[in-house]
């Protein structure tokens, strides 16, 4: 079947399209029939995905209760690591001056971009106000009790962001609404949603892709600018927009849209960064200084190499990072420009962010959330997503055991070599998914999404079609 013929497919039915889901569906009567009419019910795909996400997020919060009861009082508490309930949130409330009423960037240094800092500051103010109004609980010291409130409020914000990612993923390819369920049911949400503030950038990135797919380049650029003001990685999408535009049938118009998106991103980023840079220049620079000066850190490819072959790498791996990133980005560009048909935006976005993680100096456990909606939209197959996420889940368990060992070397739970192998397992899981996406680009007839992108028979055509494959 040709790609053109595939484009006439109706809405996706997971039990018919995904081999794993089809096999599981045999227990309830088999796959959804090709001629069967989808029932019109209030419980549609998006609402079901939201319900599943609420359950998963609630279970994640429940899993944090052993640590919450003690207020994450001490990093040296081994039970915190072995219970898999560590979070940066409560510790940073106390360690970055929020508990003392300090203002981020001006009164204390903060190694986060300004929008993440703004969310942290607003949540800290609300936490202090709630503590003053209602007091602490459980007999915890005041600052620890406040940090628990800070965690609770942050968890609400992250849960709302996660629900937004689920809806956005379901809407990006209108004829594949069940893809949102692959985000909602992900073990990555269960494990990592509350470790840090990464879901803010994940939501901004997902919304930017949705805006681009709906021919809203200005909005897409603004969202990328705001996303880059929460985490750095969303800026990679600007290069992806250019690559997609270069393969568009209307190259001039598409490049104009890409230029508009870049301009929108720059304006949005400057609008939130320049006031802070003027108001607290030293504090504003801390994010850039911190990341430039840090050595190879936990989870990174470079850290694994250092553990397995001490002394092999130089003290600073910055030059290696730049060289490796340049090589991978050139390979992605070559793939995009030589593919038989124009690659989809989310395929290239997934590869770009995956490349960034593979060469970055640090790869924290929650960074896997960056890839979640991109992976689902690039390769929505249960088997391939499961291979990647099982490797991530194994790493999640092992990294905390390694950190517990560092805090108590006399009773080791994981050796250096074992932790390095855990990093390599994580890399292998991601590379599996990368290979599947590259194969789909080189052999578009294998792409499970492409045939659902063109309008179904009788559908209203979009306002214009500068981008042949928007999502």
List pLDDT tens digits, range 7-46.
445 666 665 676 665 556 454 544 554 554 455 677 789 9
User: From the centroid of its chain, how far is CA 24?
Assistant: 28
Q: What angle do CA 189, 361, 210 make, to 5 degrees?
A: 45
Assess whether 365 and 390 both reside in one domain. yes
Q: Report the alpha-carbon distance of residue 418 to residue 197 in Å, rounded.
A: 29
Assess whether 268 and 368 both reside in one domain. no
Domain boundary (250, 279, 308) is at: 279
| Statement: residue 399 has pLDDT above 80 | yes
User: What pLDDT is attached to residue 4?
Assistant: 40
**Region of poorest pLDDT, from 29-43, 316-330, 444-458:** 29-43
Assess whether 223 and 323 both reside in one domain. no
Residue 20 covered by a domain = no
Q: Report the alpha-carbon distance of residue 48 to residue 184 in Å, rounded.
A: 9
DSSP label at 232? Answer: S
| Statement: residue 380 has pLDDT above 70 | yes
Residue 142 covered by a domain = yes
Q: Which residues contact 354 (CB under 8 A, 6 or more apart)?
A: 371, 430, 433, 434
Assess whether 323 and 379 both reside in one domain. yes
Assess whether 305 and 416 both reside in one domain. yes
Assess whether 54 and 123 both reside in one domain. yes
Q: Any alpha helices (H) in 173-250, and if so which ranges?
A: 179-184, 187-192, 198-213, 217-228, 236-246
> 92-151 pLDDT, tens per residue?
999 999 999 999 999 999 999 999 999 999 999 999 999 988 876 667 889 999 999 999
User: What pLDDT is attached to residue 8?
Assistant: 47
Residue 27 covered by a domain = no
The candidate with the shortest Cα–Cα distance to 225, out of 259, 263, 276, is 263
Cβ atoms of 209 and 199 within 8 Å: the answer is no
Take residue 211 and report the two structure tokens written for it.
């805006």
User: What pLDDT is attached to residue 463?
Assistant: 43
Number of residues written out for the chain? 471
User: What pLDDT is attached to residue 460?
Assistant: 33
Q: Report the alpha-carbon distance of residue 452 to residue 462 in Å, rounded.
A: 15
User: What pLDDT is attached to residue 468?
Assistant: 40
Residue 33 covered by a domain = no
Assess whether 63 and 187 both reside in one domain. yes
Q: What angle do CA 208, 209, 210 make, to 5 degrees?
A: 90
Residue 22 covered by a domain = no
Confidence label for 5 from pLDDT (cuts 50, 70 and 90): very low
Confidence label for 395 from pLDDT (cuts 50, 70 and 90): very high
Assess whether 306 and 447 both reside in one domain. yes
Assess whether 251 and 104 both reside in one domain. no
Assess whether 212 and 318 both reside in one domain. no
The candidate with the shortest Cα–Cα distance to 82, out of 307, 362, 408, is 408
User: What pLDDT is attached to residue 329?
Assistant: 95
Residue 19 covered by a domain = no
User: What pLDDT is attached to residue 16?
Assistant: 62
Assess whether 208 and 192 both reside in one domain. no
Residue 312 covered by a domain = yes
User: What pLDDT is attached to residue 135?
Assistant: 74
User: What pLDDT is attached to residue 139?
Assistant: 79
Residue 318 covered by a domain = yes
Domain that holds residue 324: 294-451
| Statement: residue 318 has pLDDT above 60 | yes
Total tally of structural domains belonging to the chain? 3
Assess whether 185 and 216 both reside in one domain. no
For the entire predicted model, the pTM comes to: 0.91
User: What pLDDT is attached to residue 3?
Assistant: 42
- The average pLDDT across 374-402 equals 96
Domain boundary (247, 279, 311) is at: 279
Q: Report the alpha-carbon distance of residue 312 to residue 441 in Å, rounded.
A: 36
User: From the centroid of its chain, how far is CA 78?
Assistant: 28
User: What pLDDT is attached to residue 462?
Assistant: 38
> 54-107 pLDDT, tens per residue?
999 999 999 999 999 999 999 999 999 999 999 999 999 999 999 999 999 999
Average model confidence (pLDDT) across the chain: 90
Domain boundary (279, 308, 342) is at: 279
């Amino acid at each position: 079947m040709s790609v053109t013929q595939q484009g006439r497919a109706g809405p996706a039915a997971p039990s018919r399209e995904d081999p794993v889901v089809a096999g599981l569906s045999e227990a309830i009567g088999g796959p959804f029939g090709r001629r069967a009419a989808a029932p019109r019910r209030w419980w549609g795909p998006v609402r079901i995905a939201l319900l599943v996400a609420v359950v998963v997020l609630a279970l994640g919060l429940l899993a944090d209760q052993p640590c919450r009861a003690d207020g994450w009082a001490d990093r040296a508490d081994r039970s915190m690591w072995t219970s898999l309930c560590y979070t940066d949130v409560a510790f940073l409330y106390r360690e970055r001056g929020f508990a003392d009423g300090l203002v981020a960037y001006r009164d204390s240094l903060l190694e986060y971009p300004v929008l993440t800092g703004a969310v942290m500051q607003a949540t800290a103010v609300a936490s202090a106000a709630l503590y003053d109004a209602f007091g602490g609980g459980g007999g915890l010291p005041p600052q620890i009790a406040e940090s628990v409130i800070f965690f609770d409020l942050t968890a609400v914000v992250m849960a709302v962001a996660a629900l937004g990612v689920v809806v956005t993923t379901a809407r990006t390819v209108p004829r594949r609404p069940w893809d949102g369920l692959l985000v909602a049911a992900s073990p990555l949400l269960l494990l990592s949603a509350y470790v840090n503030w990464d879901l803010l950038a994940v939501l901004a990135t997902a919304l930017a892709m949705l805006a681009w797919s709906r021919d809203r380049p200005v909005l897409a650029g603004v969202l990328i600018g705001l996303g880059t003001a929460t985490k750095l990685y969303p800026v990679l999408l600007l290069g992806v927009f250019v690559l997609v535009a270069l393969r568009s049938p209307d190259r001039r118009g598409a490049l104009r849209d890409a230029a508009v998106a870049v301009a929108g991103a720059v304006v949005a980023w400057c609008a939130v960064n320049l006031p802070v840079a003027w108001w607290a220049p030293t504090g504003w620079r801390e994010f850039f200084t911190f990341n430039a000066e840090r050595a190879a850190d936990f989870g990174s490819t470079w850290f694994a190499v250092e553990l397995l072959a001490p002394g092999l790498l130089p003290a600073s791996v910055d030059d290696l990072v730049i060289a490796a990133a340049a090589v991978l980005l050139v390979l992605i560009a070559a793939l995009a420009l030589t593919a038989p048909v124009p690659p989809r935006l989310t395929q290239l976005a997934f590869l770009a962010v995956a490349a960034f993680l593979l060469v970055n100096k640090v790869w924290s456990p929650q960074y896997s959330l960056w890839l979640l909606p991109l992976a689902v939209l690039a390769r929505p197959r249960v088997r391939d997503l499961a291979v990647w996420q099982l490797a991530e889940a194994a790493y999640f368990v092992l990294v905390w055991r390694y950190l517990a060992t560092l805090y108590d070397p006399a009773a080791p739970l994981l050796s250096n070599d074992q932790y390095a192998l855990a990093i390599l397992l994580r890399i292998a899981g991601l590379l599996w998914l990368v290979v599947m996406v590259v194969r789909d680009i080189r052999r578009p007839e294998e792409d499970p999404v492409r045939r659902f992108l063109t309008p179904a028979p009788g559908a209203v055509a979009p306002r214009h079609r500068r981008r042949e494959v928007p999502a």
